């Protein structure tokens, strides 16, 4: 399963993004044993970026994904937290993929409309394959 979490623009602007995302992660994972969690993907998809062409900066996305991993670490320990795939899904495209994917806690992208344009999707794939 892919568990999507995100905040509204109002929540971001009032400074409660990390608390809101942590609450969503804890609620979604309630009762999920560690061996099942390793099969889950968590996608950070800010509501204000879905289909708008707006994207969180790489720093904003990296901070939230780091917070997601820290929340998982507090619930399951460091080993499980490292094993969970965390993706960014807020309008990732060929122009911002490399910068977003360079963030240490962003393991991949949940690609929407950009996946419908093969030449641009290849650019995203190439960005994902950079070290």
Question: Sheet holding 41-44: strands in order across?
Answer: 2-5, 41-44, 85-88, 108-109
pLDDT(38) > 90: no
Q: What would the pLDDT profile of 79-131 be if each residue is shown by its tens digit? A: 999 999 999 988 889 999 999 999 999 999 999 888 999 999 999 999 999 87
What per-residue string of b and e applies to 50-86 under the rule 16 or more CB within 10 Å gives b? eeeeebbebebbbbbbbbbbebbeebbeeeebeebeb
pTM to 2 decimal places: 0.92
pLDDT(53) > 80: no
Domains and CATH numbers, the chain: 2-128 (3.20.20.70)
């Amino acid at each position: 399963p892919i568990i999507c979490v995100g905040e509204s623009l109002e929540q971001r602007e009032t400074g409660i993004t990390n608390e809101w995302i942590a609450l969503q992660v804890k609620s979604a994972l309630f009762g999920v044993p560690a061996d099942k969690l390793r099969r889950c993907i968590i996608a950070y998809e800010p509501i204000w970026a879905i289909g708008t062409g707006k994207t969180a900066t790489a720093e904003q996305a990296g901070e939230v994904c780091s917070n997601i991993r820290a929340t998982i670490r507090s619930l399951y320990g460091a080993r499980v937290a490292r094993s969970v795939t965390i993706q960014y899904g807020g309008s990732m495209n060929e122009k911002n993929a490399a910068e977003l994917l360079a963030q240490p806690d962003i393991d991949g992208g949940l690609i929407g409309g950009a996946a419908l344009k093969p030449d641009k999707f290849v650019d995203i794939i190439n960005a994902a394959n950079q070290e």
